[in-house]
Amino acid sequence: MADCSHFISRKNLALRWDLKYNLRPSCKKCNQQEYGNLEPFADKLELECAGIVEILREKSREVYKPELQELKAMLIDFRAKLRLLEAKPTPHS
């Protein structure tokens, strides 16, 4: 089992649902007991996309409040992605 780890805390609405860079699967120990284990998290993000850590930190300082329509659109998108994941056969099926 894995947790969904956030590089920038999920309290930050500007990045809470940033699936591309801010969210990654992690083990429960790293996410819960080591508070995200952010140093290795940052290193891996930088390997994927140089400069992204500073971009995320800058974006986290922006004031952001999503509009209702934006939240509805994200919900529709996440539900569609979930349906795709649920439809994929698992190796143990």
What is the pLDDT, as a whole number, of residue 92?
67
What is the pLDDT, as a whole number, of residue 52?
96
Note the pTM of the prediction, 2 decimals. Answer: 0.69
DSSP reduced 3-state for 85: helix
C-beta of residue 41 within 8 angstroms of C-beta of residue 14 = no
Q: Residue 90 pLDDT more than 80?
A: no
* 93 — pLDDT class (breaks 50, 70, 90): low
- Residue of 27, 8, 28 lying closest to 17 (CA atoms): 8
Domain boundaries in the chain? Answer: 3-64
Q: In the predicted model, what is the mean pLDDT of the chain?
A: 90
Give residues with Cβ within 8 angstroms of 44, minimum separation 6.
Answer: 24
* 65 — pLDDT class (breaks 50, 70, 90): confident
What is the pLDDT, as a whole number, of residue 56?
96
